[in-house]
Structure 1
Amino acid sequence: MEKMPVDAIKMETARKTIVAQHDKYGKTMGVNGCFGSSNVGQMSGFMPREIVRTIPNAFMRCPLALYPEIEGPSQVLLYDDYQVVIDGCEARCLAKALAKAGVKIDLSYALDEDFHLEKTPGPDFDEDKMKEITQKIMADIRKLSVEQ
């Protein structure tokens, strides 16, 4: 999916968000988690919230409205300079959906594969483990921001 000129975006709040965030931070980063129904899916959904609370130019984005039929504030994702995707499991559904939409992903994780977590049914997960993994991802994000 190609991004349109900012002034061509119909939703005023999306236009304002893009301009304001780039004026303030220069470069922005979209951080997305899958929020699947398993333990690792739920964990991956909460991790971006922890990241954006710590890294000033990182923002949670909604990737669902990237498709042309839906114009919404999530089109802001197309204007981020970096993309981080945290999937819960090896299926990597979120990363695949963003790639299919033509979004370049800079950092991509699957919690079961990359951090050796066992995927189990249900929403419960170890919050201490989530915080530990989130710190590792934030270290990678800081390297990415410096290196590019």
Structure 2
Amino acid sequence: MIILKKKKLENIVTENAKKTIKMQHEKFGKTIGINSCAGSSNLGQKSFFIAREIVKRIPNAFMRCPVGLYPEVEGPSQVIFYDDYQVTIDGCKGACLRKTLEKENIKIDLAYELDHESYMTEKKPGPDFDEKKMLEIADQVEKDILKLLRK
């Protein structure tokens, strides 16, 4: 098992990753990585929708791609290490996304599982989408992030 570590900015090979890290921190100071499940069930679709909604609302929040954590994908993996806060929005209690980030020793500040009883969502195959309910959950996630930023 290979565990990735944050590299010094000048040691990152992919120029786009370097540019992204530098630009986002110069512009916003602290950044928030919004990581969402895009799984095969309705809950993956919902978590991805919530993540997109959050980055529209919070200027220093950016969607990240945890697939970039594979060592073979050198550049994108480094961007996630530079975020000051990490949020995971998993579709279900399997929490694949949160577990993937934790395996790479990335500290999770806020974690959500959409099939938790407080969200009253059920995992089903195929599309099943209630935008109003997802916007309500996005409202709660946004409030939690803003509270985290005030600490």
TM-score bucket of the superposed structures, by smaller chain: over 0.9
- 2:100 alignment counterpart: 97
* 2:144 is the counterpart of 1:143: no
How far apart in 2 are the matches of 1:76 and 1:123?
Answer: 31
Per-residue deviation, 1:11: 0.5
Q: TM-score, normalised by structure 1?
A: 0.95
RMSD (CA atoms): 1.0
How far apart in 2 are the matches of 1:90 and 1:135?
Answer: 21
Per-residue deviation, 1:127: 0.8
Mean Cα displacement is larger for which, 70-79 or 87-96?
A: 70-79
Q: TM-score, normalised by structure 2?
A: 0.93
Residue among 90, 109, 114 paired with 2:112: 109
- 2:42 alignment counterpart: 39
Alignment partner of 2:5: what SS?
coil
Give a deviation string over 1:101-121, Cα, whole Å, max 9, x none.
111100000011142311111
**Where do residues 1-148 of structure 1 align in structure 2 (5 Å cutoff)?**
1-113=4-116, 114-147=118-151
Identity %: 59
Per-residue deviation, 1:39: 1.2
Alignment partner of 1:112: what SS?
coil
Per-residue deviation, 1:99: 0.5
How far apart in 2 are the matches of 1:16 and 1:76?
Answer: 10
* Structure 2 alignment gaps of length 5 or more: none
CA contact (8 A) 1:18 1:79 kept: yes
* Structure 1 alignment gaps of length 5 or more: none
CA contact (8 A) 1:37 1:121 kept: yes
Moved over 6 A (4+): none
How far apart in 2 are the matches of 1:67 and 1:16?
Answer: 20
Per-residue deviation, 1:124: 2.3
Residue 130 of structure 1 aligns with an amino acid whose one-letter code is M
